[in-house]
Amino acid sequence: MTIVPGVAAPLTRAWRPSWPCPVGEIWTHWRRGSGDPTYRIDQGRHWRGIRTPTGPATLAVRALDGDGVVHAEAWGDGAEWVLDRLPSMLGADDDPTGFVPRHPELGQVLHEHPHWRLGRGGLVWQALLPAVIEQKVTGQEAFGGFRRLVHFYGERAPGPGAALRLWVPPGPDVVRRIPSWEWLKLHIDPARSRTLLRCAQVADALERTLDVAPEEADRRLRSLPGIGVWTSAEVRFRAHGDADAVSFGDYHIPNEIGHALLGHDLDDAGLAELLEPYRPHRHRVQALLGMRRWRERRGPRLAPRRHLPVR
């Protein structure tokens, strides 16, 4: 147990997964760049600042110990909530049955990462907020915008999170009150800020998409102006644990998967055709190949835009 002077003792949980659960691999898609203020790796533990329905939480999770146990500690009003859902967040609900690599390259990646599972975050807003900020901009712009938003409008994570410079992202009630001119200072343009404001107004309804089938969750998310195929998929595989959610419309993913499996570029139509035989595991293909870091871009990078004001 982590004892920090002046900080209340954490709630703890020891969980023994039924497989060799790789915490870092499973949570990699929650980390928004190396400077993500809501995620830290310190002394072998993964620290996350999380806004739950019961309040903010700091969650610290160690990788499997020699006995095959995951040890977790949590602080804050949301501590019990995150510990209750720890197995789901680490992939216990994911069922890879029926996933058979049809391409040798994919089989090799699966061999390299045999224990990866898709975690179910269970928090739509936590997934949606950075996903909207990442719409149609470079990674540099997206990560920077999210970082500024969290620093200016989020809050320090409870317990020892503050000493680690760990933050909890702002909730929808805070986002609704951000003035229009402040969004530009955060380098988040009006199209994306309007989408976030619309989502913040119906945040409770969006959380209820966790209780419906993936197709219905997709329909409800995309019924909001500004939420398209790409954003819906980015939210669903993180929050809902949807193993079939493909990020169509991404600037890089079709080419990355195309080069990995076929040796040439693809557009979205070609990607859809390539992945069709993998239903209902299409996101599993995207995620596994992403872990191999097909980041040697085979096409032009988006250039950062320079028309937004500097704070």
Write the pLDDT tens digit of every residue in 228-257: 999 999 999 999 999 999 999 998 999 999
pLDDT at 162 over 70: yes
Residues of the chain with CATH 3.30.310: 11-97
Residue type, 258: G
User: What type of residue is 309?
Assistant: P
**pLDDT above 50 for 189:** yes
Q: Span 100-110, mean pLDDT?
A: 96
57, 78 Cβ separation under 8 angstroms: yes
Residue 1 in this model has a pLDDT that exceeds 70: no
pLDDT at residue 304 tops 80: no
State the span(s) of the chain assigned CATH 1.10.340.30: 124-291
Our CA angle for 148, 136, 243, nearest 5°, is: 95
State the pLDDT at residue 303: 46
Please tell me the least confidently modeled range out of 20-24, 186-190, 288-292. 288-292
Of 1-15, 67-81, 178-192, the poorest mean pLDDT is in 1-15
* 20 has a pLDDT exceeding 50: yes
> At 136, is the pLDDT very low, low, confident or very high (cuts 50, 70, 90)?
confident
- Rounded mean pLDDT, 37-43: 95
The pLDDT assigned to 251 comes to: 87
- Distance between CA atoms of 278 and 244, rounded to whole angstroms? 9
- Is the pLDDT reported for residue 174 higher than 50? yes
| pLDDT of 139 | 83
Least confident of 26-35, 88-97, 230-239: 26-35
Q: So what's the pLDDT on residue 293?
A: 57
Average confidence score pLDDT of the chain: 92
From 257, 311, 255, select the one nearest 284 (Cα to Cα).
Answer: 257
Phi-psi region of 122 (alpha: psi -120 to 50; beta: other; left: phi over 0): left
Q: Is the pLDDT of residue 3 over 80?
A: no
* pLDDT surpassing 60 at residue 64: yes
Q: List, in order, residues 6 or more apart from 272 with CB less than 8 Å away.
A: 246, 248
**In this structure, CATH architecture of domain 11-97:** 2-Layer Sandwich (3.30)
Q: What is the pLDDT of residue 311?
A: 36
Q: Is the pLDDT of residue 284 over 60?
A: yes
Which band of pLDDT confidence, cut at 50, 70 and 90, is reported for residue 295? very low
Of residues 5, 159, 156, the one with CA closest to residue 73: 159
Confidence of residue 291 (pLDDT cuts 50, 70, 90): confident
* pLDDT for the residue 294: 43
Is the pLDDT at 296 greater than 60? The verdict is no
- Per-residue pLDDT at 308: 45
* pLDDT of 59 above 90: yes
CA atoms within 13 A on the CB side of 143: 13
pLDDT above 90: residue 137: no
Fold of 124-291: Endonuclease III; domain 1 (1.10.340)
